Every structure is written in C-alpha cells, then in structure tokens.
Structure 1
Amino acid sequence: MNKPFSSIEILGIPFANTTRDQFVNQLQKRINHHENTFVVTANPEIVMYAQKEPNYQKLILTADYISPDGIGIVRASHTLKTPLSERIPGYDIFMDLLNWASQNQKKVYFLGAKPQVIQQLKLKLTKDFPGLKLVGAHDGYFKSETEIVATIEKQQPDIIFVATGFPNQEKFIASNRHLTKGLWMGVGGSFDVFVGAVKRAPKWWQTHHLEWFYRLVTDPRRLKRQLIIPQFMWKIHQLKK
C-alpha cells in the first residue's frame, strides 16, 4: 500500500506531512491489511540525537512513518519554508489507536514504564477500553528480551506499543518487528501519562504550544533536555541562511 501523503525533510528526517486524523486512519488501514508497520514519533530531541548518532538515524529511517511530535518540528518546517500540516503528538496517536482497538477488538501488547505503572495500566485499560484484547504487558525493567519476544511472537498482536524511551524503544522495534504483521510504535512516556503518574499539560498549554514549558515548570529536572530545543532551532536558522 503506497503512502497516501508526502513527507517533509528536516535535518535528514522525513516527517509525514498530513493531519492527525489522516495519519491515524492510514495506520488503521495498515493494521486491518496486516501490513508490518514501524512508527517513530520524533521531536527536536530525537532529531538532534540522530544528528550525533548516525546509526540511530539510519535505524529510524527504516520506519514507515515519522510523525512530527513537538511544536519545534512544525516551527522548523515553517522557518525552512516547507510547512508541515500540523503537529501530530505521539500521545494523541496512542489514545486514538487505543480507542479504535477497543471498538474493533484488536489485540495489543504493551512494553515499558515501571512495574507499578504497568499494573495501573492493565486496570485502566480494562475499565476504559473493555473491547481491547490485552495480550501482554511487561514493564521496561528487563534483563532479557527472550520472554517478551516469545510472547509477542506467539500472540501476534495487531499493535505493539513500546514505551522504553528513545533510542532503546526504536532499537527494540527495529530488531523485532519481523515477528508480527502488526504495527510497532515507540510512545515514550505515554503509559505514565495515561495512568496519571505524569500529568499532561492542560488544554490551554497544549493549544498555545507550551506543553514543553509546562513540563519544565512542573519538572525542573528536564532543563538539560529542554536546552536541546534552542540548539535545534539555531541549527535550523543556520540552514535557512
């Protein structure tokens, strides 16, 4: 199945140039057609890491789709005069797919986060998405992939969400995506947000594209990570010259 939308390249990373609804719709089609699919949700931090780590960049370029997760990516596209349609946050894709999976009795596997978060996740999924077929869930603190990989191969989930953070989640997906004909997607801290262990920015902050600032205010430990954004934008402005 051909890609129904174009892509726009930013620092060597091709981002899907489409709307959230169209993007999610395409993923649903591929799941229904049993097409193996690898999705990366990339923000400026991931793009900058890929700049420093050629092997990681090579790896994420094997993805079928890379979504612009982060207002910095969208702003960069406008600066470069190749504007993306809109930001497509990974958490929103995650929630859209959970809802759809519940409505269509799809099989889903979850990997990542702390043990207590995974326990809360299983309870909340049962309550909020009763139609979803939970075929496995494992925390991100494992020494061996053997049991996890064996379960995924046996259960053949339609969707595998991996929330172990970059670059580990993408490495895990790239190594194991051949095991199923389903969709594999790295979702960072989405499990924590879903169960309420980490609070997502309120709607006003989201609407005004200030989620990054909200996260910084509520968790000052993120300062070092957030400093990547001005570095990213500086690099973009250098390209513009």
Structure 2
Amino acid sequence: MPFLSNTLSDALPKNIVIDLGKHNVLGIGVDAIDYEAAIDKVIGAAVGRQPMSVTALAVHGVMTGVGDPEHRYRLNQFDLVCPDGQPVRWALNLLHGCGLTDRVYGPDLTLMLCRAAAQQAVGVFLFGSTDEVLTRFADSLQDQFPALQIAGVRPSRFRTLSPAERDALADEINSSGAGICFVGLGCPRQEVFAYEMRSRLNMPLIAVGAAFAFHAGMLAQAPPWMQRHGLEWLFRMAHEPRRLAKRYLTTNPAFVTRLAFQKLGLMHRQQEQGRPPQRELLFG
C-alpha cells in the first residue's frame, strides 16, 4: 500500500502513481516519477533499513554530469534521480513521451518525506549547511510535523574529511536511530557525498540542495508562477547574481542546445555511464 495513498473512499478514483523508470537525458538516467512513487520508494527503504542514494536534479545538476565523466558515473549509480527542474521534466516528456504533469521538486519532496517519516515513526538525520541553518530548519520541521523524530544534526565542516572523520560521521549517523539522512551540501558536493557514503549507511541518503536554507527561512523561493514556468533560475540569479549569473547563463543555453541535438539523434543517443572515480573526495 502506498505510504501516501488516497484514503478518502474506496469508491473514489485511485491516485495514479507514476514510476516509469530511468530515461536518458543528455547521457544521465533520470527517473520519470511523481512525488507519491518517490516517497513510497524512500520510505520503503527507510523502514527496511536499506541503503539508497537519491537526488533531485535541475538543469545545473544534469550539466555537472554532462561535463564530468566521473560525476556522470556517480549520478548514473544513484538509485533514484528525480526531475527537480521543470526543464528536466520537459526533457523527459519531449525525448521519451513520459507525460509527466509535475516535477519532483527537492524542497517539496523534503517536506513530503518528513510528513511520511513522521507517520511511519521513521527518524531523520540532517547533515550539511551551518549550525544556524540546521537549527532553524529543525525548528521549522518540528513546528510542521510535531511527531517527526529528528535523530541527529551535523553541520558541514566545509572541507575534505580524513578517512577517520568519514568513518566517525558514518558511525554517528548509523547509530542515531535515523532511517533517512537528508544531505544539504549544494550541487555537486551533496551528490558526491551521497554516492560515497551509500555503502556505509543503512538508510536512504537524500540530496536536497537548497531545501535546508529555504525551509529555514534564510533563502527566498521563487513565486509559484515562476516555478511552474521554469523561471526559478531567473529569480535566484536576480537574488544572487555574483554567484549564479555565470552558472545559469552558460549551463542553460548548453542544456537546451544538447537537448535539441539529442532529440535529433545527433548526441547522447544512449545513457553514458562515464568513468568510475579514481579516488574519493570525502567532502563533508
């Protein structure tokens, strides 16, 4: 039974859960999936104490894999890659006819998973960002979901970890009693962390990008109409031009161009596995 199933009445039409598997978007396997199916997968793994790596990719996240064979390999090993950005959803529909009517937006997925975790008595661990952001984020989650167990929090050191520090962090998260670990290190560091720690943690790792700062009330979100029309990048660039202008003004045109070439059969005809990383980065 889905963890967020429709319980109003057996006589009402059932929710259609969409999980069409992975599809090639510029050489990276992105899951054509909706919120309900993604939540069912994550909560099922959490309850079963199964390792799982999950991320939600917008255009920038996809392009980090396009330009780096080692990172492309990491992304293609993820158990679940959700279409975070509207352009990624549009790409799935354009290239593969998936018919997705909504994206799986990382900040919204975070709250939905926390609601489901509270219902299923699954604890969560918050890793990444700063002490201030984590405190505000944890307080916000407890206000919204009083039954949610926050089993632990740990800010990022914003540097490379030693093997001993990595192992100590894995022990801390595993021994906390959490069933889900949310990772907020920013793209692509959070995906690197989730890839490298997957084999060390007996729970899903969810890379959620700016969700920590959004829900801590420290970073403004784009208005809903801008989100629906794929203009969230413009809103964020206007608020952080020095940090984001170069990113968006280079990656967005490159994404559209490559998407056109893939549609024409000139590029990215197959999912490209990339090259296994030669060493661990151990950022945490």
**TM-score, structure 1 normalization:** 0.90
Q: Secondary structure at the match of 1:197?
A: coil
Partner of 2:125: 109
Matched, 1:189 2:228: no
Tell me which amino acid in the other structure corresponds to 1:117: V
Matched, 1:65 2:97: no
Of 229, 234, 246, the match for 1:224? 246
2:49 & 2:171 partners in 1: Cα distance? 20
Of 131, 139, 156, the match for 2:155? 139
CA root-mean-square deviation: 2.1
1:211 & 1:60 partners in 2: Cα distance? 23
Of 233, 245, 257, the match for 1:234? 257
Q: Secondary structure at the match of 1:177?
A: helix
Please say which of residues 206-215 and 103-112 is displaced more in the overlay: 206-215
Matched, 1:208 2:229: yes
Identity %: 25
Moved over 6 A (4+): none
Tell me which amino acid in the other structure corresponds to 1:27: V
Structure that is richer in helix per residue: 1
Matched, 1:25 2:40: yes
Matched, 1:179 2:200: yes
- Give the structure with higher Rg (CA): 2
Partner of 1:169: 190
Of 108, 121, 136, the match for 1:92? 108
List runs of 5+ in structure 2 lacking aligned partners: 1-17, 265-284
1:49 & 1:238 partners in 2: Cα distance? 18
Which has the bigger relative contact order, CA under 8 A and spacing at least 6?
Answer: 2
Partner of 1:126: 142
Q: Would you say how many aligned residue pairs link Structure 1 and Structure 2?
A: 239
Q: Secondary structure at the match of 1:149?
A: helix
Deviation at 1:33, TM superposition (A): 2.7
1:239 & 1:29 partners in 2: Cα distance? 35
**TM-score, structure 2 normalization:** 0.77
Matched, 1:82 2:103: no
Contact 1:79 / 1:237 at 8 angstroms: preserved in 2?
no
Contact 1:40 / 1:66 at 8 angstroms: preserved in 2?
yes
2:99 & 2:219 partners in 1: Cα distance? 29
Contact 1:110 / 1:138 at 8 angstroms: preserved in 2?
yes
Please say which of residues 16-25 and 64-73 is displaced more in the overlay: 16-25
Partner of 1:148: 169
List runs of 5+ in structure 1 lacking aligned partners: none
Q: Secondary structure at the match of 1:17?
A: strand
Partner of 2:20: 5
Change (3 A) 1:10 1:127: same
